[in-house]
Amino acid sequence: MDTIGFIHYFGIPTLFLLLCMSAVGWVSRKQKRKFAQHPMPWIATWASVGFFVAGVLAIIAWVMNTDFVYNNASLVWPFCLGLVALNGHPSILVGLLLVALMGFMNGLYYAFLAAMSWILLKAFRTKLPVT
């Protein structure tokens, strides 16, 4: 994968998810919800969302046994390259292990993006001193 391919494959989903997370955080803060007031629940919730998104999409891809999810889900799940291992009907144990691994990787990715969005929201919330 060359640099342009890497940026296309990871850059666009990263910006999209960062924008979505920031929008949710901004709306939550405007409504004064506790969800967006502290970083740990924020990061843990987004990590759980990432885990379950990847798990559901991996199970769908496993059942469908096509590359439809791989071709169309990279915007919310850039680690869907691992779906290639589901081709050819692997055993149940291997399939479940792969689903868990893909969910874990995507959960870490979402947690990292949630931490970045938390920093962005915090930076926009603080006011610059007037000089």
Range of the domain at 11: 3-125
Please calculate the CA angle 28-45-18 and round it to the nearest 5 degrees: 65
**pLDDT tens by residue, 94-122:** 888 888 888 898 899 989 988 988 888 77
41-52 pLDDT, tens digit each: 888 988 999 899
Task: Answer whether residue 131 is part of any domain.
Answer: no
With 60 as the cut, is the pLDDT of residue 129 above it?
no
**In a domain? residue 8:** yes
Query: Does residue 78 sit in helix, strand or coil?
Result: coil
pTM of this prediction?
0.76
Q: In this model, does residue 4 exceed pLDDT 80?
A: no
Using CA atoms, how far apart are residues 72 and 56, in angstroms rounded to an integer? 14
The structural domain count of the chain equals: 1
DSSP one-letter string for 56-120: HHHHHHHHHTSSHHHHH-TTT-TTGGGGGGGTT---HHHHHHHHHHHHHHHHHHHHHHHHHHHHH
